[in-house]
Amino acid sequence: MSEQVFNILQNPADVGGCSHYRMRFPEWALQTIRRDIRFVSSMKLICYPDFFRDIRVVRLQRQVSNAQADYFLKFLYPLSNSLGFWIVYEIDDVIGYEDIPAYNHAKEAFGNEKFFSNVQNMLNCSDFITVTTDNLKNYYHTKYGIPEAKIIVIPNYLPRWWVGEAYQPDRIIELYQDNIKKPRILLPLSSSHYDLKNVNNNVDDLSGITDFIRSTCQKYQWCFIGHCPRQLEDLARDKKIEIWPGSDLLNYPRELYMKKPNVILAPLQDNVFNRAKSNIKLLESWALGVPAIVQNLEPYAKYTDSLFSNNNELQNQLDSLFSDKKRYMKIVKNNRRIVDFGDKHAPNGWWLEKNLGKWNQLFTINQKTLRLDIRKKMNESNEKGLTIDL
């Protein structure tokens, strides 16, 4: 009897953090332990029907455009029904146009008036939708009318091989001692956090702490990766803050490590888009052995006490963090312990290699043609809460 093979087609939408955390990292990890799961990854949509004859799952990331909707609805969906492969739509952000902050440069790309219906139709025709958080699941359930039974929450997990070995307690102590007179505060924020084109009157994720940064330039060494905030360009010109170029994703942990931070800061505006984010910036910091101070918002609030809502709270957090070396190292080690071994939020910890169960179940699901009766019942009885056990 021949070995059963699970052939998976994945269509990533980008080459940055989103596609790596949600598509590429799980694929790479599974391929090292399951020889019977075989992936094809393509950013170009495949239009050859015979290719799909032995495919088990097609997983597409963040498809929104008219051309992508035509491919999905006119080619892929009918083919799925005839050949029996599953369609999974992956989305790890809010993409409703009115819910994307004005300062986020990605907003413009979602302004087409047909995109809402495109996404809604594709989500409804998908067998499952994978998301990162319960908040995001609720967003697509309420705003797009997607049955909760179709939405699978799989958190972002860290590949240990990618970031885990950068943790060096002796070096962390040394950095603390070297920098204690002027601690280094790192803000590794992508361009989507900044009002770079001044379309929102310089109000963005950083604007709540701009005055604080100005007033503490002599006390702390502020370091930015990727972009200089418009509000602080004069400080950059005068070399009062550091601006470092961005990094490709695979070298990202190394770039953070090389900046020698004593703390990583994650400010956010309170809006629908940000409340649906994952806690990944917190986890990256913890894995590296760098304490994180984060905005007191939904993505972070239940995971840590190192929170701030205003400049006074931020100052208090920094004062507490740098008040004692032993306390600092206790925080560092406890954070890393949670990544390694878990807590009530992640019983297995936060390493991808220890949390492949849901990905494994998704990619080894029984052929859809064997369970069409269940799928039909699910589509007809959403209000009854029928679910499919993966």
Residue (of 309, 285, 287) closest to 297 by Cα position: 309
* pLDDT score of 118: 96
Distance CA 157, CA 133 (A): 12
**Facing residues of 43 across strands?**
none
- DSSP for 251-290, please give it: GHHHHHHHT--SEEEE----SHHHHT--SHHHHHHHHHT-
Superfamily of domain 6-155+355-384: Glycogen Phosphorylase B; (3.40.50.2000)
Do residues 86 and 127 lie in contact, with contact meaning Cβ atoms separated by under 8 Å? yes
Distance CA 276, CA 292 (A): 19
Distance CA 280, CA 294 (A): 11
* pLDDT score of 370: 54
pLDDT exceeds cutoff 70 at 124: yes
* pLDDT score of 381: 35
pLDDT exceeds cutoff 50 at 141: yes
Q: What percent of the chain has pLDDT over 90?
A: 85
Q: Over the stretch 277-287, which tens digit does the pLDDT of each residue have?
A: 999 999 999 99
- DSSP for 122-141, please give it: HHHHSSEEEES-HHHHHHHH
Distance CA 75, CA 77 (A): 6
Distance CA 17, CA 53 (A): 31
One of 3.40.50.2000, 3.40.640.10, 3.90.1150.10, 1.10.10.10 is the CATH number of 160-341, namely 3.40.50.2000
pLDDT exceeds cutoff 80 at 378: no
- Residues 6 or more apart whose Cβ sits within 8 Å of residue 83: 52, 53, 55, 369
Tokens read off for 193: 């956090």
Q: Over the stretch 350-376, which tens digit does the pLDDT of each residue have?
A: 999 999 999 999 999 998 875 444 344
Q: Is 94 left (phi over 0), alpha (psi -120 to 50) or beta?
A: beta
The secondary element (H helix, E strand) that includes residue 92 is none
Alpha helices (H) along 34-164: 66-70, 77-83, 115-125, 134-144, 160-163
Averaged pLDDT of the chain = 92
Count of other CB atoms within 10 angstroms of residue 324: 10
Tokens read off for 231: 């509000």
Count of other CB atoms within 10 angstroms of residue 203: 16
Query: Can you give the three-state secondary structure of 186-252, one letter per residue?
Result: EECCCHHHCCCCCCCCCCCCCHHHHHHHHHCCCCCEEEEECCCCHHHHHHHHCCCCEEECCCCHHHH
Residue 111 pLDDT class (50, 70, 90 cuts): confident
Residue 385 pLDDT class (50, 70, 90 cuts): very low
* pLDDT score of 376: 46
**CA dihedral sign, ordered 301, 254, 243, 248:** negative
pTM for the structure as a whole: 0.90
Residue with tokens 């790192």: 186
Give domain limits for the chain. Answer: 6-155+355-384, 160-341
Count Cβ atoms within 10 A of the Cβ of residue 2 and give its class: 0-12 exposed, 13-18 middle, 19 or more buried: exposed
Residue with tokens 């939405």: 151
Count Cβ atoms within 10 A of the Cβ of residue 109 and give its class: 0-12 exposed, 13-18 middle, 19 or more buried: middle
What residue type is 268 in one-letter code?
L
